Amino acid sequence: MKKKKVGINASYLRKPHTGIGQVTTNFLKMLVRYKQNDFEFVLYLEEDIPKDFKLPDNFSKKIFLPVYKRDDLIRKIWWEKILLPRLVKKDGCDVFVSMYQCPTSLPRRQAGIQPYKEVKHIMLVHDIIPKLFPKYLDNFRKKLYWKLTEYGIKKADKIVAVSKRTEKDLIEHLNIGADKITTNYIDVDELFASRTGATNAGHANILKKYKINPGYVLAGGGYEVRKNVEGVVRAYKLLLERNKKENFLPNFPKLAIYGKVLPESLSLATPIERILKELNLTKHVILLGEVPQKDLPALFSEAVMFVYPSHYEGFGMQILEAMNVGTPVITSKVSSLPEVGGDSVLYCNPDDITDIAMVLKNVLTNHDLREQLKNRGQERAKQFSWEKFSEKILNIIEEM
């Protein structure tokens, strides 16, 4: 029996620390680990895969770039919209999987004409943020890319949304039929999975590297305005000033924020350094900068809590990372975050600084509450797995 040929856009293997990169990497790890011999897989790439990523015999790879090689939106459109569909068609794939929302669309047969085999297209959609927040489309290239992406989403045969929130957004804002969409929750990198035997060994060296002592409040995950780091900082300032009067915490913890600081010239960037100066917080807040993935489990583990009052997330990988290592989480009761956190985290109103500060105080002053959140978070994190995610994708492939 001939094996079903499955093409996969695996280009984000070159960006393993992004959310899409993690999903792509861990999905492929599952395929390799369990050797899905009923399929023939073709990985389409912009760069070669890491040398330690060994592929079984039923895997092949195609590495290609347009003549224009600068890594920007022009190259992305050229690669995803033009070159990739041509090669997928040429290779005779039966099914093609896009690991993220993009302009890729595969040609369809015209009535009465069958010049080539039709390829079934599955597209993973993480979010439709540019549709919901038009400020992200602040130049012509971004507008063009998103317009083509919307077209690609609508043309896909099957859409896999990473949360119920994203599924609802697709139905409501892109008018896509519910029968075309299925929800499939993702997981986090195995580095965070305490259930795989992670220990505290080496944490001290990592904290030393960032010049920080245990027991800090951790925030971060990006400085886009949508992430609401400013809300965390202002709530922290409010609580710090209140503590000076009430002294409910003799040793008030520092606030540590991880993530690459964006230039203030970007319209959607939080001017974090300016805000810290205005609030006179430069001695109380530590900007950790861009943190490698391998250091994050230790930084989460040694924090007294993780605060993430984002205004919108397609999934919320950051809070699941914290839950895995047993760090108490405060997050927003909006978008997809309650789907991830369930009853294992505390929620706040992201638009209310006083509310964020109140929840912060509750966690800081209540040891028993922190222990409850730690245990609940680790237990809930077990509900998410790459095995479940990958199995669902494979079932969809088999049905097409």
Q: What average pLDDT does the segment 197-205 reach?
A: 68
Q: What average pLDDT does the segment 50-67 reach?
A: 91
Q: How many CA atoms lie within 13 A of 64 on its CB side?
A: 16
pLDDT band at 195 (very low <50, low <70, confident <90, very high): very low
Q: pLDDT (tens digit, 9 = 90+) per residue, 348-387?
A: 999 999 999 999 999 999 999 999 999 999 999 999 999 9
Q: pLDDT (tens digit, 9 = 90+) per residue, 239-250?
A: 999 999 999 999
pLDDT reading at 118 higher than 90: no
pLDDT reading at 115 higher than 60: no
Task: Burial-class residue 86 by CB neighbours within 10 Å (0-12, 13-18, 19+).
Answer: exposed
pLDDT reading at 199 higher than 90: no
pLDDT reading at 1 higher than 80: no
Q: What percent of the chain has pLDDT over 90?
A: 84
Q: pLDDT (tens digit, 9 = 90+) per residue, 62-85?
A: 999 999 888 899 999 999 999 999
Round to whole Å and give the CA distance between 375 and 61: 42
Residues 229 and 272: beta-carbon distance below 8 Å: yes
Q: What average pLDDT does the segment 230-239 reach?
A: 98
Parallel/antiparallel/unpaired status of strands 59-63 and 95-98:
unpaired
Within 10 Å of residue 118's Cβ, how many Cβ atoms? 13
| Mean pLDDT over each residue of the chain, to the nearest integer | 93
pLDDT score recorded for residue 202: 82
Round to whole Å and give the CA distance between 61 and 44: 6
Residues 52 and 16: beta-carbon distance below 8 Å: no
pLDDT reading at 109 higher than 60: no
pLDDT band at 197 (very low <50, low <70, confident <90, very high): very low
pLDDT score recorded for residue 50: 85
Q: pLDDT (tens digit, 9 = 90+) per residue, 290-342?
A: 999 999 999 999 999 999 999 999 999 999 999 999 999 999 999 999 999 99
pLDDT score recorded for residue 111: 47
Sorted by where each starts, the structural domains of the chain and their CATH numbers stand as 4-187+385-399 (3.40.50.2000), 190-381 (3.40.50.2000)
Quick one: tokens of 285? 């807040």
